[in-house]
Amino acid sequence: MRLILASQSASRRALLEAAGLAVDAMPAAVDEAAIKESAKAEGMTPTDAALLLADAKAARIARRHPEAMVIGADQLLVCEGEWFDKPADLGAARRQLLRLRNRAHELVTAVVVWREGERAWHHVATPRLAMRDFSEAFLDDYLAREGERVTQSVGAYRLEGLGIHLMRDIRGEHTAILGLPMLPLLAYLRDSGVVRR
């Protein structure tokens, strides 16, 4: 069965391809900011909001490709009840990282699969990360070295890069931190006959 990733995320696609899956990537045009605002206004939990976002992306692509199995994913960063978005620029990334410094946060990572016109499966992982009490000099050097790449992540860091230096503790599946909980997804794909058991 054809697999489609409803995302333009290079890291999610790389995770699927590294696991030996042939996947097409198609960005889903959904208004993520509006969905998040609506979810907050309705009092949704971060888990429900992340699922809503992942589902909206998968549904958008699944309607155009009903023959395919469509994977949608989204991730919210939550620190002490506050929801964070991808920083708009380096200045916003600096402010966000200072807010997260010496605090723990969760990456609420949702994945859904649409098949034959409906949501067939979903999973939410909540890795927990704690940033160390880094200096502002370190932060400025980090941002100078990482550049605009920090704006591509909800946490303003890439653990597969220099972002690992920001952390003092990490708990949870590494692939979920990168944006796609691969172990439960692969189990579902095996159970569905998409990959060998």
Catalytically active residues, by annotation: 74
Q: Which helix (H) or strand (E) holds 73?
A: strand 69-79
Find tokens 């042939």 and name the residue.
Answer: 22
The dihedrals phi and psi of 173, each to the nearest 5 degrees, come to: -65, 130
The dihedrals phi and psi of 40, each to the nearest 5 degrees, come to: -65, -45
Give the single-character DSSP code of 179: T
- Give residue 97's Cα distance to chain centre: 18
Q: Is the dihedral of CA 2, 3, 6, 7 positive or negative?
A: negative
Q: What is the rounded CA–CA span in Å between residue 172 and residue 60?
A: 29
Q: What is the rounded CA–CA span in Å between residue 170 and residue 188?
A: 25
Strands 118-125 vs 104-115: parallel, antiparallel or unpaired = antiparallel
In Å, what is the CA distance from 143 to each residue of 80, 132, 158?
A: 24, 16, 12
